Amino acid sequence: MNHAFLYSKPVRAVLMSLLLAGCQLLPQSPATTAESQSEAPESVTTAEPPAECVAAKTEQQEIEYLTGQVALRTATLRITELEARVKRLRYDLDLAEGTLVSAESGLQAGLGRADAIARLAETQILYRHVADLSPKRQDLLEEAKTKLEQADRHFGEFNFGAAVYFAQRGKHILNSIKEEVERLSSADNAYVVSVDTVNLRTAPSTNDAILLTLERDTPIFGEESSGEWLLVRTADGRLGWVRGDLVRSVP
């Protein structure tokens, strides 16, 4: 559904309001009194409102309805965003708890040097592959690199269970980048930022608050359009509005 007139042409809504107000000032049928009733004919024709007033009232109602629908859509998408964050946090919590339980029960004693070497090597290979695949995701690549460094440090201290844990964390981050690239290549609503930076805002207006700043070639996914603005979701699930002329679709 195209709601272009809701935000890209706010003057239209103002004019509709002024027109409706003007309709209220039009002469109304005179009030009927006891005296006029005796003199009035049996059949009285009530003046119909001008067609412009009827059309303005109808369009004003449509504007109010569509505005509510856009607000509902935005709220629904924000709920989805929060659910995705909760899912990621739950994964991290489960992984951490599993490691702690294994450490406390002594099960990690079964993870030896060979296990740690295999996990580290696997994650390092994946890191190089993903870095070539999506070099723009420096934030996540740095996070994965930190996990690998922590894994190396624990390996050097002969704490092979901890080395495996941090290698798994790095692998999870790298897989999320890989999945993002795959979604970007297959989605029909994929865009990338086409300028140096673009602001992700809470609503489709330059007067609204900035959620974060996206850099050139950052992938995003379109959810809704409103005139020259796009409601988009970032790869990590954050939702906001960007100017449509500052991004380009992915072929």
Helix (H, G, I), strand (E, B) or coil at 218: coil
The rounded distance, in Å, linking the Cα atoms of 72 and 195 is 30
Q: What is the pLDDT along the chain (251 residues), one digit of tens a residue?
A: 444 444 444 545 555 565 555 555 555 545 444 444 444 455 545 556 666 666 666 777 777 777 777 776 776 777 777 777 777 777 777 777 566 645 543 555 567 889 899 999 999 999 999 988 877 778 889 999 999 999 999 899 888 888 888 899 999 999 988 887 887 777 778 888 999 999 999 889 888 889 889 988 888 888 888 889 999 988 777 889 999 999 998 86
Q: What is the DSSP string of 109-144?
A: GG--HHHHHHHHHHHHHHHHHHHHH-TT-HHHHHHH
Its CATH architecture, for the domain 190-249, is Roll (2.30)
pTM given for the model: 0.49
207: DSSP letter: T
Domain borders along the chain are 111-186, 190-249
In 3D, which of 169, 170, 181 has the Cα closest to residue 235?
Answer: 181
